[in-house]
Copies of this chain bind each other. A is one copy, B any other.
Amino acid sequence: MSIRALVWGENIHEQTDPVVAEIYPQGMHTVIASALEKDHRIRPKTATLQEPEHGLTEERLAETDVLLWWGHKAHEDVDDIIVERVQKRVWEGMGLIVLHSGHYSKIFKRLMGSPCSLQWREAGERERVWVINPNHPIAEGLDRYFELTNTEMYGEPFSVPEPLETVFISWLQGGEVFRSGLTYQRGGGRIFYFSPGHETYPIYHSHNVQRVLQNAVRWAYNPLRAWDDITVAPNVPVDLALERLEFQGQGG
Binding site for B on A (CB under 8 A): 19, 22-23, 91, 93, 104, 110-115, 117-125, 128, 130-135, 137, 139-140, 144-145, 150, 153, 155-159, 161-162, 164-166, 169-177, 179, 184-189, 200-202, 205, 222-224, 227, 230-238, 241-243, 245-252
In contact, B230 and A117 (Cβ under 8 angstroms): yes
CB neighbours of A166 from chain B (8 A)? 162, 166, 179
In contact, B119 and A241 (Cβ under 8 angstroms): no
CB neighbours of A252 from chain B (8 A)? 22-23, 201-202, 205
Q: Which of A122, A202, A249, A252 has the most C-beta atoms of chain B within 10 angstroms of its own C-beta?
A: A252
Task: Please give the count of copies of this chain that the complex contains.
Answer: 4
CB neighbours of A110 from chain B (8 A)? 110, 113
What secondary structure prevails in chain A residues at the interface with B?
Answer: loop
Please, which residue of chain B has its CB at the minimum distance from the CB of A104?
Answer: B233
Closest 10 A-B residue pairs measured CB to CB?
A124-B248, A135-B188, A175-B242, A174-B241, A175-B243, A202-B252, A200-B250, A113-B113, A111-B113, A121-B236
